Amino acid sequence: MINVAVLGVSGRMGRCLVRTVREAPDLSLSGALASATSATLGRDAGDVAETGPVGVVVTADREAALAGADVAIDFTLPGATIANLEAAAKRRIPVVIGTTGLDEACHAAIRGLSHDLPVLVAPNMSLGVNLLFGLVAKASAALGEDYDIEILEAHHRNKVDAPSGTALRIGEIAAGARGRALGDVGIYSRAGQTGRRPRGAIGLAVLRGGDIVGEHRVLYAGTGESLEIAHRATDRMTFAYGAATAARWIIGRPPGLYGMADVLDV
């Protein structure tokens, strides 16, 4: 049995992770962490996830949440993620990170800590999205700059970062496949007299509304034809299932920084 600590248990994904762990015959919930201001503190994590009592109390104490864990799954906020990872590093507990909105300072801290323990970071835990990444790399390399790339993402009204981490990763992959950096070719907004579209540019557009779980579309617009690669998530549980798959995979791995491509071997 694999003991799993869920970090960020009061959020949408945290609750999905608790449900996923409870459904899996090989996983057991050993700890549940929430912020110091969360209304869920002191409650049973199973009740928070509406799965019925599981005998694990939600705590703001990282040491307590990680005690006895074989692996931790983090879906929190960037600042909390680094603190959680530091606490896990003290116990040599591998960590799967699904938190988005990580800046370069966060990534640098994660890279540093990954020298001491295995860490898997993925802006999207969906198995389908991670296969989409591979398709984008192939299509972007095969279709030259005569084909304009536009990336459109849509999420629920409460998402706080934009573009989504997944959309940015798609942009990085598409740009890299053409020997460019997204920072040099990305266009994040258009308004007014923008002039002609620059050759080789990659546009990123954002929609926010309702309870949209997550949609990502990549359009290759050429002359006389277009190609579209799309992924639509209809249930957040798909991300939780992917995170659980990653958690199983990372146990026993050597220290290092991993991604879902390693899990899927693509």
In angstroms, rounded to a whole number, what is the distance separating the alpha carbons of residues 34 and 14?
Answer: 9
Number of Cβ within 10 Å of residue 31's Cβ equals: 26
Cβ atoms of 152 and 141 within 8 Å: the answer is no
In angstroms, rounded to a whole number, what is the distance separating the alpha carbons of residues 61 and 58?
Answer: 9
* Residue type (1 letter), 248: R
Q: Which residues contact 212 (CB under 8 A, 6 or more apart)?
A: 154, 155, 156
> Residue 198, preceding bond cis, omega within 30 degrees?
no
Hey, what are 193's tokens?
């007299």
- Point out the catalytic residue in the list 115, 155, 156, 231: 155
Between the CA of residue 211 and those of 75, 101, 178, 206, 208, what are the distances in Å? 18, 19, 35, 15, 9
Q: Which residues pair with 96 in a beta bridge?
A: 73, 120
- Point out the catalytic residue in the list 90, 107, 115, 159: 159
In angstroms, rounded to a whole number, what is the distance separating the alpha carbons of residues 174 and 180?
Answer: 9
In angstroms, rounded to a whole number, what is the distance separating the alpha carbons of residues 234 and 238?
Answer: 8
Sequence-ordered alpha helix ranges (H) in the chain: 12-23, 45-48, 62-66, 78-91, 104-113, 127-142, 165-177, 182-185, 237-250, 260-264
Residue 138 designated active-site: no
Q: Which residues pair with 152 in a beta bridge?
A: 205, 217
Point out the residues that are catalytic.
Answer: 155, 159
